[in-house]
Structure 1
Amino acid sequence: MKRYKGFKMKLYEGQAEEYEKRHNQLWPEMKAMIHEYGGSNYSIYLDPETNVLYGYIEIEDEEKWNQGADTQINRKWWDFMADIMETNPDNSPVSKDLQLVFHLD
């Protein structure tokens, strides 16, 4: 069963263009990993007034999706992005899940 996942992250000041550039050049291996671990229909939005990013992704299974975090390519992506956004000590983005309150297909 498809699950809808929303979350937020935060960019450092002045990094919006670089964030967009890096995602427009997303590595093929990273795209493949997202799909392999059940992710699809992935979008990220920016609120330029606050530098808050809002992500939306559809996933097949929460446990399977979470396993993608431990892949080598995902860890490499986190390291690549750590200089432009708030991260945890392991370079994973500081991310807070959002509560779904409405969905319409």
Structure 2
Amino acid sequence: MAHYGFVMKVREGFEEEYRIRHQAVYPELLNIFDRLGIHSYSIFMHERYLFAYMQVAGDFEQTMEILANEEVNQKWQEFMKPIMIPWEDGNLMKRIPEVFYHA
């Protein structure tokens, strides 16, 4: 199972709102993660910076494409978009390369 990291950034003043929203992630979205083989998905916050980590059982690009087309994921992304700062390319998440792993 491959693992991936991402960085994101929350708008100033919305740090607590981000935490609150993630205490009530849509159960349907979590079910889709399970169905697609997305496991051990964690998000860590330092000030306004977020680091996300996930393991993906199948092909990463294909999994992300399927996820992007799921209606409940689109709804969640629209819900989160106002409190997030997009990167230069317009995406809310920036995939970062792994430089070390120890199992």
Kept in 2: contact 1:69–1:75 (CA 8 A): yes
* Matches of 1:19 and 1:99, distance apart in 2: 25
Aligned residues: 99
* Matches of 1:9 and 1:101, distance apart in 2: 18
| Structure 1 unmatched ranges of 5 or more | none
Kept in 2: contact 1:11–1:86 (CA 8 A): yes
Q: What does residue 30 of structure 2 align with?
A: 31
**Cα deviation 1:5-64 (Å, max 9, x = unaligned):** 00101100011111111111111101011111110001001111xx11110000012133
Scaled by the length of structure 1, the TM-score of the pair is 0.86
User: More helix per residue: 1 or 2?
Assistant: 2
* Matches of 2:38 and 2:10, distance apart in 1: 22
Query: Could you list the runs of 4 or more consecutive aligned residues of structure 1 that deviate by over 3 angstroms after TM superposition?
Result: none
Q: Which amino acid aligns with 1:15?
A: F
Kept in 2: contact 1:78–1:93 (CA 8 A): no
Which one of the candidate residues 41, 45, 49 is aligned to 1:52?
49
User: Percent identity among equivalent residues?
Assistant: 32
The RMSD of aligned alpha carbons is: 1.6
